[in-house]
Structure 1
Amino acid sequence: MSALGIVGGVVQPVLIVAGSPLLVGVMRQVRARLEGRAGPGVGQPWRDLRKLFGKERISPRGTSEVFRVAPLVLVATTLVVAVVTPFVTTDSAVDPVADLFAVVALLALGAVTLALAGLDTGTAFGGMGSSREMTILALVEPTLLVSIFALSVRVGSTNLGAIVSATLHDPARVISRVSLLAAVALIIVIVAETGRLPVDNPSTHLELTMVHEAMVLEYAGPDLALVELASAMRMSVFLGLLANLFLPWGIASTATPIALLVGVLALIIKVGLLGVLLAAGEVFLAKLRLFRVPELLAGSFLLSLLAVAASFFLA
């Protein structure tokens, strides 16, 4: 454990927790402006969270501890990923956990726990949303693993810090066939994992199209605030992964104050730009029919397999 890793382990979670609701606010504002609306303002997600944290906690009758613990597990797993993943610094505070398989397992654990909470309510909407979420997750997680694994083949390690450092020292990797295929696959994964168009519509409450919203309909007060905060954090984590795996410039490789400041600013700029592009793209997209979503995700898995093949045969 290096000094750089310790600093990163402190700065990164604070930055992710504080900045994720603001990222959601920026994305909503961009989408509103492109649609000709004024929008609620960039700080509205934080105001909503403050209001929810001030309300009484309510649990539906008949639910078990799974329903009550799920928001905490979702936040905790995302927070661990924010601590160990190289977002601001190349070194990790807990290097063994910064492994590709450990990070993907933590992200999957949070999603599975929330799906179990949706089933625990015993409602039709909760079960429907959980079923859809597991269908998407079963197709998304292998793609996430394989697409990043394609980048690790040339490095000889599945450690995310090692992958980022290798790309930082060899910028030519960014424009290779492997990186292009893996990047496209990872972008589709991020759209599906964060519940954005065309896979899911984060602003709808139409029963026939809900996925994420259907699982959290029974949550209220502080529990709903934790779920919303964790969802925003997961989006920041995925966008940060995309940014630093393929465009790691600016990330701090030394523990000097200037390098750390540049690393923080670089992460904010890169994640902010990716969020703006994602929100702008949604304005021109329509939601896919549910039965067409597996075709899109299967296509992304095929791209990730091609990336792995290219990393072996075109290296």
Structure 2
Amino acid sequence: MTTWIIAIGQGLFVAAGAPLLVGLMRQVRARLEGRAGGRLTQPWRDLRKLARKEPITPADASWVFTAAPPVLMATSLLVACIAPFWSTRSALDGTADLIAVVGLLLLGTIALALAGLDTGTAFGGMGASREMTIAALVEPTLLLAIFALSARAGSSNLAAIVSAGVHDPVRVFSPASLLAAAALAIAILAEAGRLPVDNPATHLELTMVHEAMVLEYSGRDLALVEHASAMRLTILLGLLANLFAPWGVATNLDPVALAVGLVAFAAKLALLGALLAAAEVFFAKLRLFRVPELLAGSFVLALLAVTASFVLNP
């Protein structure tokens, strides 16, 4: 029963905390730019306002358009429940395989891209095309970057990798881990639609990627899409933190250890979110044709990390 509580609690914590993380990042960026910025809870206020409005479906759209937001939210919730955030002893940790988690994230991306195509608009098709181009370069990088740790831990299960990092960091981590962490960080920027790959605050038709796919959404559907996007950012930052800095994650069912794991996870998210927001102040949006070069570089870093992990494997 305790392991099920951990799994469900992780999902609820990510769902409740993701908008707050976005609010924190907006505050940090606003202060560094000399603006007052909104409140920490402003993203939740925006979601509540959208949830009260009736969604409008384009005349030419099919069931694909209406199914995409629930699919995106469901895959995000499932990953939040099975990933080792608080503890490695979740009831669903056996399903937290590297390929399964990346596949679930990709499923949400594909659903949103199909919805952009389903509207039949120029912006939707353009955004979907750009999103799938980026996804084709990002997903292999995500797999290889985490596989660099999995090769040394001896398992592709995320909970097993985190547990090995807690109990035997010398065996799991090596100089190659820095390459894998850098590759995963770049992949997260692209997967979450952050600068310099995408600008979440823009509506310029020549630069937007994520926003182009969701222009036709409104009301409750848009609330689901925005909430799921915030959750995906939280999940990706949480994976980066716990895979490469697993200290604080509970490896047993002791209540004190679980409480420490919760606090440590929240602190890591806040720190990474603040660092990302601060870095975005100094980042410039890359031209779209330069994005594949950046992602190809991250793939090379991940490939080097995997190769070095096997060479340096004791």
Displacement, 1:92? 3.0
Q: Which residue of 2 aligns with 1:97?
A: 95
**1:252, distance to aligned residue in structure 2 (A):** 1.3
- Match of residue 253, structure 1, among 251, 254, 259: 251
Q: Percent identity?
A: 68
Matched position secondary structure for 2:74: helix
Equivalences for residues 51-130 of structure 1 within 5 A? 51-130=49-128
Q: Matched residue of 1:287: which SS?
A: coil
Aligned length: 313
Q: Which runs of 5+ in 1 are unaligned?
A: none
Please say if residues 4 and 89 of structure 1, whose CA atoms lie closer than 8 Å, have aligned partners that are also in contact: no
Structure 1 position 7, deviation (Å): 2.8
The equivalent of 1:164 in structure 2 is 162
How far apart, in 2, do the equivalents of 1:122 and 1:66 lie? 12
2 CA distance for matches of 1:150 and 1:226?
A: 34
**Per-residue deviation, 1:174:** 7.0
SS in structure 1 opposite 2:58? coil
Question: Given residue 22 of structure 2, which amino acid in structure 1 is its aligned partner?
Answer: V
State the partner residue of 1:235: 233
Give a deviation string over 1:5-32, Cα, whole Å, max 9, x none: 3232021001100000000000001000
Distance in 2 (CA, whole Å) between partners of 1:93 and 1:275 is 28
Which residue pairs with 2:176 in the alignment?
Answer: 178
Cα distance in 1 for residues equivalent to 2:15 and 2:280:
24
SS at structure 2 position matched to 1:70: helix
Instruction: State the partner residue of 1:200.
Output: 198
Deviation at 1:95, TM superposition (A): 3.2
Q: 1:229 to 1:95 in 2, by over 3 A?
A: same
Distance 1:106 1:16 in 2: 16
Q: What secondary structure sits across from 1:117 in the alignment?
A: helix
Q: Secondary structure at the match of 1:202?
A: coil
Supply the distance in 1 between the matched residues of 2:111 and 2:265 (Cα, whole angstroms): 29
Query: Does structure 2 conserve the Cα–Cα contact (< 8 Å) formed by 1:57 and 1:223?
Result: yes
CA distance in 2, matches of 1:189, 1:4: 34
Which residue in 2 is equivalent to 1:222? Answer: 220
Cα distance in 1, alignment partners of residues 21 and 5 from structure 2: 23
Q: What is residue 140 of structure 1 aligned with on the other side?
A: 138
In structure 1, give the amino acid aligned to 2:196.
P
Contact kept, 8 Å, 1:25 with 1:45, in 2: the verdict is yes
Deviation at 1:171?
Answer: 2.8
SS of residue paired to 1:255: coil
The answer for the alignment partner of 2:263 in structure 1 is 265
C-alpha contact 1:83 1:93 (8 A) present in aligned 2: no
Amino acid at match of 1:88: W
> Where does the alignment leave 5 or more consecutive residues of structure 2 unmatched?
none
TM-score normalised by L of structure 2: 0.98
C-alpha contact 1:5 1:90 (8 A) present in aligned 2 = no
CA distance in 1, matches of 2:168, 2:40: 37
What displacement does 1:4 show? 5.1
Distance across 2 between alignment mates of 1:293 and 1:91: 38
Distance 2:303 2:23 in 1: 35
